[in-house]
């Protein structure tokens, strides 16, 4: 099968073996989104080697469960051992032996086919288009903030970053009715956040890179700050924006180390909460209501043959989501 493979560099190969894992379901991928984590993987993040990609929608081609075959699905990306306490409690996200689709010890979605345990797959209702369904995984990650932090409508919340994950976090947090401010660098992206109902605060590249405060942020401090900047300086900025005893949610994974003044965390008794994957069922439920429109987040959809352009564009500052079309048959 055709697939993108990363081993020190990203390459397209036409003769990747179709995955065949005993007891798992085989999914023919239709679309796969390029996430910032994928870009970080190509920079060395996590030391991953293999086929990246973890945001997808596809159709079940093979499964031990005949009812699944032909179903359009998205999938939970963490596959656990099934035996540890976490897995037994029905949550493999922190199984110490887990593999993670396209991130850790498991080939991912930038391929014609992927394999996942049948239990990881969630059927997509007809009311959700393919290009919305491909957002199920990152939308679930965004909604996960609401699982971790009790965000009441009275809270002042800031999101650092205006990229694709930040935009999904805005969509997710809007469900809580809280007052949202997005701190970012890109006017067009901030305009989009504005349309989603957030106040926006534009900062310069320099301010972002040196951890400065947004110039128009004044002395305002936020009850909750979510760092979705994708940058090691995001935490530094977030620490300046969060109020004493406030909550700082870290959503970005990146290859670079962050340099921070931990005394700010101590003196202001800030709670810093790491936040990774959410439950896809919640994302599918939200999308099925049709009240959120993620179409504006799609910058472009390109066939896998144009992977080099797709990755280059995904890494450029003005871009939101780039989606690879895997259903496009090789010519």
Site residues (vs a copy of itself, CB under 8 A): 45-46, 94, 96, 148, 232, 235, 244-245, 250-255, 257-276
Could you tell me the smallest distance in angstroms from the CB atom of residue 166 to a copy of itself?
Answer: 15
Nearer to a copy of itself, 182 or 235 (CB): 235
Ramachandran category for residue 261: left, alpha or beta (phi over 0 → left; psi -120 to 50 → alpha): beta
Q: How far is the CB of 255 from a copy of itself (least distance, A)?
A: 8
State the Cα angle at 175 between 238 and 277, rounded to 5°. Answer: 60
> Quick check: 173 and 148 in contact, CB under 8 A?
no
> H or E segment at 242?
strand 242-250
Smallest CA-to-CA distance from 167 within 149, 146, 189, 135 is with 189
Nearer to a copy of itself, 242 or 324 (CB): 242
Q: Phi/psi at 155 (nearest 5 deg)?
A: -80, 150
User: In angstroms, what is the minimal distance from the CB of 178 to a copy of itself?
Assistant: 19
- For residue 67, what is the DSSP state? T
When the beta carbons of 199 and 258 are compared against a copy of itself, the nearer one is: 258
**What is the CA angle 259-261-167, rounded to 5?**
65
- Among residues 283, 323, 276, the alpha carbon closest in space to that of 34 is found at 323
Q: What is the dihedral of CA 109, 86, 255, 257, to 10 degrees?
A: 170
Query: Minimal distance in Å, beta carbon 59 to a copy of itself?
Result: 30
Nearest to a copy of itself of 66, 274 (CB atom) = 274
| Nearest distance, CB of residue 171 and a copy of itself, angstroms | 20
Residue closer to a copy of itself by CB (options 14, 266) is 266
Measured from the CB atom, is 34 or 248 closer to a copy of itself?
Answer: 248
With beta carbons less than 8 A apart as the criterion, state whether 318 and 186 touch. Answer: yes
Q: Which is nearer to a copy of itself, 58 or 234 (CB)?
A: 234
Q: How far is the CB of 172 from a copy of itself (least distance, A)?
A: 16
Judging by DSSP bridges, how do beta strands 199-202 and 121-123 pair with one another? unpaired
The dihedral of CA 208, 211, 215, 221: what is its sign?
Answer: positive
Minimum distance, C-beta of residue 124 to a copy of itself, in the bound complex (Å): 27
């Amino acid at each position: 099968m055709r697939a993108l493979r990363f081993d020190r560099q990203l390459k397209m190969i036409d003769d990747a073996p179709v995955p065949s894992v005993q007891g798992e379901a085989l999914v023919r991928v239709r679309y796969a989104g390029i996430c910032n984590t994928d870009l970080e993987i190509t920079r060395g993040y996590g030391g991953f080697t293999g086929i990246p990609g973890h945001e997808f929608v596809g159709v079940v081609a093979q499964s031990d469960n005949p009812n699944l075959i032909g179903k359009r699905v998205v999938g939970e990306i963490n596959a656990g051992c099934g035996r540890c306490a976490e897995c037994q409690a029905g949550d493999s996200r922190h199984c110490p032996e887990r593999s993670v689709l396209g991130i850790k010890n498991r080939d991912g979605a930038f391929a014609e086919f992927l394999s996942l345990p049948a239990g990881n797959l969630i059927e997509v209702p007809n009311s959700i288009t393919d290009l919305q369904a491909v957002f199920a995984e990152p939308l679930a990650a965004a909604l996960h903030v609401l699982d971790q932090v009790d965000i009441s409508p009275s809270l002042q919340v800031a999101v650092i970053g205006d990229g694709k994950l930040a935009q999904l976090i805005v969509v997710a947090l809007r469900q809580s009715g809280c007052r949202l401010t997005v701190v970012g660098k890109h006017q067009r992206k901030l305009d989009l956040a504005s349309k989603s109902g957030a106040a926006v605060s534009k900062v310069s590249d320099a301010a972002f890179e040196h951890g400065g405060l947004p110039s128009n942020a004044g002395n305002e401090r936020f009850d909750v700050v979510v760092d979705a900047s994708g940058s090691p300086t995001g935490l530094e900025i977030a620490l300046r924006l969060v109020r004493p005893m406030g909550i700082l949610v870290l959503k970005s994974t990146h290859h670079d180390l962050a340099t921070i003044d931990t005394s700010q965390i101590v003196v202001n008794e800030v709670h810093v909460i790491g936040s990774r994957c959410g439950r896809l069922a919640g994302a599918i439920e939200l999308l099925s209501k049709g009240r959120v429109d993620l179409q504006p987040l799609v910058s472009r959809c390109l066939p896998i043959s144009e992977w080099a352009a797709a990755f280059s564009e995904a890494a450029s500052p003005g871009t939101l989501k780039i989606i690879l079309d895997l259903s496009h048959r090789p010519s």
